[in-house]
Each structure stands twice: as structure tokens, then as C-alpha cells.
Amino acid sequence: MQAVSADIAAYDERLVEIQTELLNKAKSKEEYEDLIQEIYKVREDKQKALVASAEQQGVLRRIEEMNIYLDDASTELAEYDEGLVRAYFEKIIVYDDHYEVIFKSGISVDIDK
């Protein structure tokens, strides 16, 4: 997470640099279209990094929730638990020779029949 924060800070620093350069060029009536395009690119890259960070945090949160549940749960399920299924499973795909269980955390497990 610290790497992502550092990346975001680097994007912010770069934006300040470009904006300062843009102001200087505008004051001296120089061409600055390339700087505007660079600002858009840096903003877009920053937004992508923020989205990736949020997605990663969501996955980590769901994994932590699953770990807490599994630590508290008994090791053997005696009956079907709808709450458990809805909370942790994204979908289960049935193939001819195996099952694929996809958890909400994004982890996928193949189970042979």
C-alpha cells in the first residue's frame, strides 16, 4: 500500500511541476498545448492508480473477512449456510469433469469431481 501512496504522491508532484511550467509558458506567451496533454495523461494515470488501489484494498478486506470467519467457524459444516454462500462465493461453475469455485475476493479454486 505504501508503494501506491508513493505513486499517488509522485503523480501529484508531477502535476504541480507541469502546472507551474504551464503558467510560466502562458505568461511568456509560448506554446503550451503539449503540457496540457501531459496534464491530462498524468491525471488519467493517477486515476488508474487510485482505482487499482481501491480494488486491491477491497480484495484485501474480503480476504481478511474470510480469514476471520474461518478462524471462528468450526472445521466441519453440518448444513448448507446461505449467509456463508452469499458472503464469500461469487459463483460456482460446473463442468463435466470438475467444479470451479470463484470467491468474491477473486480467488478461484478447481475441484475435481
Contacts of 18-27 spanning 24+ positions with Cβ under 8 A: 18/42
How far is the CA of 71 from the CAs of 74, 86, 92, in angstroms? 8, 18, 23
> How many C-alpha atoms does 68 have within 13 Å on its Cβ side?
7
Torsion of CA 66, 69, 75, 78, to 10 degrees: -110
Q: What is the mean predicted confidence (pLDDT) over 14-39?
A: 93
| Residue 75 scores a pLDDT above 70 | no
Identify the pLDDT of residue 64: 87
Identify the pLDDT of residue 55: 87
| Residue 26 scores a pLDDT above 70 | yes
Question: At 103, is the pLDDT very low, low, confident or very high (cuts 50, 70, 90)?
Answer: confident
Domain ranges of the chain: 1-73, 77-113
| Residue 32 scores a pLDDT above 80 | yes
Identify the pLDDT of residue 74: 66
Identify the pLDDT of residue 68: 84
CA distance between the termini of the chain: 39
Identify the pLDDT of residue 51: 92
